[in-house]
Structure 1
Amino acid sequence: MLSLEQLDLSHNNLSGNIPKSLEALKYLTYLDISFNDLHGEVPSCGPFRNCSSKSFMSNEGLCGDPVYGLRSCPTSRQKRRKPIIAAVVSLLGITLLILIITALAIYAIGRCQRKYLVENGVDFAPVTTLRVSYYEILQATEGGTLNNGRDVVVKVFNLQQQNAFKSFDVECEVLRSLRHRDLCKVISTCSNPDFKALVLEYMSNGSLGQWLYSDDYVLDILQKINIMTDLVYAFKYLHYGYSMPIVHCDLKLSNVLLDEDLVAHLSDFGIDKLLGEGESNAYTTTLGTLGYIAPEYGLEGSVSIRCDIYSFGIMLMEVFTRMKPSDEKFSGDLNLELDK
């Protein structure tokens, strides 16, 4: 066998790799393995140095030296990248599937929950407005409790900031007329030329951000679905349940407060935009929070209900993946933040 001088294996329907052991046939002067179904790298030593491109014709799976008319073989780095790319694609597919299933679950649970609330006559009206003096607010800021023993949150506006007066007026205008259990209720307001504050209902479980990123709290999948469903109801009311659409413009985890039953309440309406009748867009120079801002809002100042929908999608992903929009994993084309 080692003395073999000629070997013609053409047109034999051979498959598999070319054995490297053929490099040991030092007397072989003629080799023809054309018109087969071979694949893999063609050896480059021994008798293969004397071969021409005709020796390997019609073997689409072969690779090797371009002198033989073959395509180049992939490098070891390229071989390693293939499983990595496959893993990344699989991970993205699984994440997308989870988000789709979650969205469908939120929709289904939302319909059932809404039907239950309607059938059982749940009252969405806000708490009766109380008269609260500046002195009471001053006392409440020490411990967060009014004279009647009621726990509250006092939001004091920094009048030194730009648009502080406008922000206070907008928030008062929006919240005084809204009627929904998933919106943070305003108990009272206090306003004079030097001091402006809102007295809000106290939420014993803090913000969604505290629960999501703290080691002391744990939210299971059903609790997360219920919280996001509450926000769907809140935005449905803001966008379609009021006399004119209301765009929140600054949806983020810290603006979602949780009561003792972990029911979500949307808060912080200081940069809300009221769209007039027939309007689908408005323009503003006030920005929300980087990472949650819709591109048309951040770059052009264009405001529509789609801005809230975009922010809700970002927050939905954050809640179920526990990854912030500013996470370093989102880099390059995956960057969720707008350029500052």
Structure 2
Amino acid sequence: MIILHALRYSLPTIGVVVLLIVLTIMYRRCQSRSTTLPIKDDLLSLKRLRRTSHAELSQATNGFEESNMLGSGSFGYVYKGRLLDGIEVAIKVFNLQTEGAFRSFDIECDAMRNIVHRNIVKVITCCSSVNFKALVLDYMSNGNLEKWLHSKNYFLDLIQRVEIMIDVASAIEHLHNGHPTPIIHCDLKPNNILLDEDMVAHVGDFGIAKLLGEGYLMKHTMTLATIGYMAPEFGSAGIVSVKCDVYSYGIVLIETFTKKKPTDNFFAEERTIRHWMESSLPQGAIEIADVDLLKREDEYFIVKANCISSIMELALNCSAELPEKRKDMKDVVVELKKIKQRLLNNIKHV
């Protein structure tokens, strides 16, 4: 009787305790889900993809024939290839003799595998063995922005350039704000901006990308990016934050509309491309714009000049010396879209 009497009062207490434990476990599971990347069909199918073989990639590129080489980067070579199912792809083969190549492959594989965005190059699959590592990427038939800006017989009109830079800004904004842990590209430049058959821009090459830890606004690194596009605090102290990408974006923005590279001999240490823009912009867009982009005899000269001036003011705000003075990429996307709409509206009314 004493035992039954005790159970009558203890069982409800035990039940409450068990219920609390179950609820706590469920709550923690929900929390852990909320801090991971959102699961999408593309991601699920990507993780289920088999890893392709060296033999298959060799066949796809005719033995990595030089005529199929699209270009080279800091950690290897990129080839055009055709898989067995007929899909045209770009195959990035890592030079494992280069210091940091293994780490670059791991970083790029992990970073790009977990990012799904229309303006970021998509990883189709990968190949990884002791002696060979490669990423298989979407093939971008129109090459990179570098080619379209600086090679003969290639030309982008004003609206195309604005749209490309909106695409790039959207990609970087997604990296910074589209995930629980911000991703910093660290090496944004025209070579890493690829154009598909519809001239839509895609940001690629995440070989030195950095992930900020939860709650951190910056981190230190010994890895160096490309001179000319690298933020001052990145180059001098190895301090990396999302504002480093904003700086690089500002420099690319200047290059896209002026056709001047930050590494041109015209610029020296005391006279950077940004300093040149800051001193030249007050004299008018005709002084700084790509000569093929802005001509006085053009009936839309004033409209285009005002557009370029607005974009260069935005570029200066992105590439400010101090990180805290630089714009947020979300604001950059909004502002560029307004500039584009204003351009289109003004052309209609001229």
The structure that is helix-richer by fraction is 2
Aligned pair partner of 2:205 in 261, 268, 276: 268
Q: Write the letter of the residue equivalent to 1:248.
A: H
Give 1:316 deviation, angstroms. 0.3
Query: How high is the sequence identity, in percent, across the aligned residues?
Result: 52
Question: Unpaired segments of 5 or more residues in structure 1?
Answer: 1-122
Q: Which residue number in structure 2 is paired with residue 175 of structure 1?
A: 112
Query: Residue by residue, what CA displacement relative to the aligned partner does 1:122-175 show, whole Å, maximum 9, x if unpaired?
Result: x99579534322211111232511111110111011111111111111111111
Query: How many residues were matched structurally?
Result: 215
Q: Which residue number in structure 1 is paired with residue 241 of structure 2?
A: 304
CA contact (8 A) 1:124 1:179 kept: no
Judging changes above 3 Å, is the alpha-carbon distance between structure 1 residues 299 and 150 closer, same or farther for their aligned structure 2 residues?
A: same
Name the CA distance, whole Å, in 2 between partners of 1:283 and 1:331. Answer: 27
Judging changes above 3 Å, is the alpha-carbon distance between structure 1 residues 322 and 127 closer, same or farther for their aligned structure 2 residues?
A: farther
Give 1:326 deviation, angstroms. 1.3
Aligned pair partner of 1:141 in 54, 61, 75: 61
Give 1:179 deviation, angstroms. 1.1
Give 1:299 deviation, angstroms. 1.1
Judging changes above 3 Å, is the alpha-carbon distance between structure 1 residues 252 and 222 closer, same or farther for their aligned structure 2 residues?
A: same
Judging changes above 3 Å, is the alpha-carbon distance between structure 1 residues 127 and 187 closer, same or farther for their aligned structure 2 residues?
A: farther
Q: Which residue number in structure 2 is paired with residue 58 of structure 1?
A: none
Q: Which residue number in structure 2 is paired with residue 69 of structure 1?
A: none
Name the CA distance, whole Å, in 2 between partners of 1:140 and 1:161. Answer: 24
Judging changes above 3 Å, is the alpha-carbon distance between structure 1 residues 304 and 197 closer, same or farther for their aligned structure 2 residues?
A: same
Q: Is the counterpart of residue 232 in structure 1 residue 152 in structure 2? A: no
TM (normalized to structure 1)?
0.61
Name the CA distance, whole Å, in 1 between partners of 2:167 and 2:43. Answer: 16
Q: Is the counterpart of residue 329 in structure 1 residue 266 in structure 2? A: yes
Q: Write the letter of the residue equivalent to 1:330.
A: F
Q: Is the counterpart of residue 281 in structure 1 residue 201 in structure 2? A: no
Q: Which residue number in structure 1 is paired with residue 21 of structure 2?
A: none
Give 1:242 deviation, angstroms. 1.1
Name the CA distance, whole Å, in 2 between partners of 1:140 and 1:305. Answer: 37
Name segments (4+ residues, structure 1) moved above 4 Å. 123-128
Name the CA distance, whole Å, in 2 between partners of 1:162 and 1:151. Answer: 30
CA contact (8 A) 1:125 1:180 kept: no
Judging changes above 3 Å, is the alpha-carbon distance between structure 1 residues 127 and 211 closer, same or farther for their aligned structure 2 residues?
A: farther
Name the CA distance, whole Å, in 2 between partners of 1:127 and 1:136. Answer: 23
Stretch moving more, 140-149 or 164-173: 140-149
Q: Write the letter of the residue equivalent to 1:189.
A: C
> SS of 2:97's equivalent?
coil
Name the CA distance, whole Å, in 1 between partners of 2:189 and 2:177. Answer: 21
Superposition RMSD on alpha carbons, in Å?
1.9
CA contact (8 A) 1:140 1:154 kept: no
CA contact (8 A) 2:149 2:259 kept: yes
TM (normalized to structure 2)?
0.59
Give 1:332 deviation, angstroms. 5.3
CA contact (8 A) 1:211 1:217 kept: yes
Judging changes above 3 Å, is the alpha-carbon distance between structure 1 residues 232 and 125 closer, same or farther for their aligned structure 2 residues?
A: farther
Name the CA distance, whole Å, in 1 between partners of 2:255 and 2:178. Answer: 27
Judging changes above 3 Å, is the alpha-carbon distance between structure 1 residues 255 and 124 closer, same or farther for their aligned structure 2 residues?
A: farther
> SS of 1:334's equivalent?
coil
Name the CA distance, whole Å, in 1 between partners of 2:243 and 2:61. Answer: 37
Aligned pair partner of 1:318 in 243, 246, 255: 255
Give 1:334 deviation, angstroms. 1.5
Give 1:331 deviation, angstroms. 2.9
CA contact (8 A) 1:134 1:190 kept: yes
Q: Write the letter of the residue equivalent to 1:160.
A: Q
CA contact (8 A) 2:43 2:113 kept: no
Output aligned runs, 1:1-340, within 5 Å.
125=42, 128-129=45-46, 130-131=49-50, 132-142=52-62, 144-331=81-268, 333-336=270-273
CA contact (8 A) 1:155 1:200 kept: yes
CA contact (8 A) 1:212 1:219 kept: yes
Judging changes above 3 Å, is the alpha-carbon distance between structure 1 residues 313 and 165 closer, same or farther for their aligned structure 2 residues?
A: same
CA contact (8 A) 2:119 2:201 kept: yes
CA contact (8 A) 2:43 2:114 kept: no
Higher RCO, 1 or 2 (CA under 8 Å, sep at least 6)? 2
Whichever of the two has the greater Rg, that structure is 1
